[in-house]
A and B are shown apart, each in its own frame.
Chain A
Amino acid sequence: MIATTDLGSRPFLFSLAMLIGAFAVQTFGQELPAAQRGAGELQSKEPSAKLSLAEARDLSGTWMTSYWYNGLNMGPKGSLPDKESPLHGVDDPRTPVVNLLTPWAKEISDKYSIYTDPILSCYSPGPQAYSAPYAFEIIPSPGRLNILFEYFHEVRRIHMDGRKHPEGNPNPSSMGYSIGRWEGETLVVDTRGFKESPIVSIPHSDQLREIERIRRIRDGSVLEIEVTKEDPKAYTQPLRQTYYFKKDPSLEIVEHNCDGMIDYATHKPK
């Protein structure tokens, strides 16, 4: 039997868990280190969809930023989550993320202006490929889940065959090296092996580690992706962001690349 995270329907178990948790903290007098707290548990309060295990683990299909269907968050409130949570610190969610950058990351961020942000030179968005409002398609293949992003035609391969991450980050890359495993109806993806990224809004080092918790929620037609970023070289605490996507079999993924990017200073093609 697969445990559900629908805490609302099990108030007794939830209360018991809270009591045990409170007791543990009081007894042992310490909390888990921030990094473990950040990556170790699902934070979302959304219940998982009530699906069979096989259905819950079928993530195949085309998924589009959910608020696209709510008139860009302007229409009547629908059944879809209408916005992603902004990127925030796990320990200090109200502190602007710029204040959670280490001096190393701040220096990178300060090195570029709004006119020289590497994203304007079509630098690979890497982990920012979930950027809205674009779609992606998940295609399973033996031992792998493949994500084909519309945004900049990025591709991710999530290894599901039980392998380990390569030792020592031998090939730092924009999208990193992803290994996935199932925890009940939640796909947990551990991505390491990134290269440094100077993108101004959120730079990262080659020490970045991303833990994603991916689940089907609501009636199964919404995908929730909770991303926790740990990068002791770049961030003073783990950062988190939650995205929502709606399954849309009719949506056609179209070409999105950087072929026609212009130089903002000269107005000429790059």
Chain B
Amino acid sequence: MKTKLLILLFASWSRLASAHHSTSMFNMEKPTTIEGAVKTFEWVNPHVYLHLDVLNSGSKLEEWIVEIHSPAIMLRRGYTKDYFKPGEKITVVGGAIKDGTHMMRLLRGTKADGTKFYGDDFSPSATGAASTQ
């Protein structure tokens, strides 16, 4: 059941994600998890971006860019440009870009207070994908 759910989730996600461009440049099949602090939340078209400060294994700060969806889709799911605050600590799961640079396409995430976001239906109170892993 869980496997079926995840397959469905991925199928629906990938169909939407292809709206602007293929996601084949991202490793969506092998998601990466990172923890970091929000540097900026860039509310721009055609995709909004989270810039995260992440401590790497060598205890050095590196910046990751997390690509999400367009403002139109985010807005309709209840997000605004103020959903993430600078300095806020979050955990995100996504497909890292295949060229090895510090970029990913978001699959789901969790705020420090446990609030899940961007799960199966992209909503700020995400259920499904975010709660099954």
| Size class of the B contact interface (CB-based, 8 Å) | 35 or more
Could you mark each residue 12-44 of chain B with 1 if its beta carbon is under 8 Å from any beta carbon of chain A, else 0? 110110111110110000000000000000101
Q: Inside 8 A of B72's CB, which chain A residues have their CB?
A: 134, 150, 254-256
CB pair B65–A72 under 8 Å, yes or no, is: no
Residue of A nearest to B42 (CB): A260
Which residues of chain A come closer than 8 Å to B55, judged between CB atoms? Answer: none
Q: Are B46 and A264 in contact (CB under 8 A)?
A: no
Residues from 63 to 85 in B contacting A, C-beta threshold 8 Å: 65, 70-73, 75-76
Assuming A74-B9, A119-B20, A132-B19, is B101 touching A255 (CB within 8 A)? no
Cα–Cα distance between A115 and B97 once the two chains are bound (Å): 10
Q: CA of A150 to CA of B71 in the docked complex: distance in angstroms?
A: 12
Is residue B86 contacting chain A, with contact meaning CB distance below 8 A? no
Q: How far is the CB of A133 from chain B (nearest CB, A)?
A: 6
- The number of chain A residues with a CB under 8 A from chain B is 34
User: Is B45 positioned at the interface, with any CB of A under 8 Å from its CB?
Assistant: yes
Contacts of B8 in A (CB 8 A): 73-74
B interface residue numbers (CB < 8 A to A)? 8-9, 11-13, 15-16, 18-22, 24-25, 42, 44-47, 49, 65, 70-73, 75-76, 97, 99, 101-103, 120-122, 128
Query: Which residue numbers of A lie inside 8 Å of B, CB to CB?
Result: 68, 71-74, 83, 114-115, 117, 119-120, 122, 131-134, 150-152, 200-201, 251, 254-262, 264-265, 267
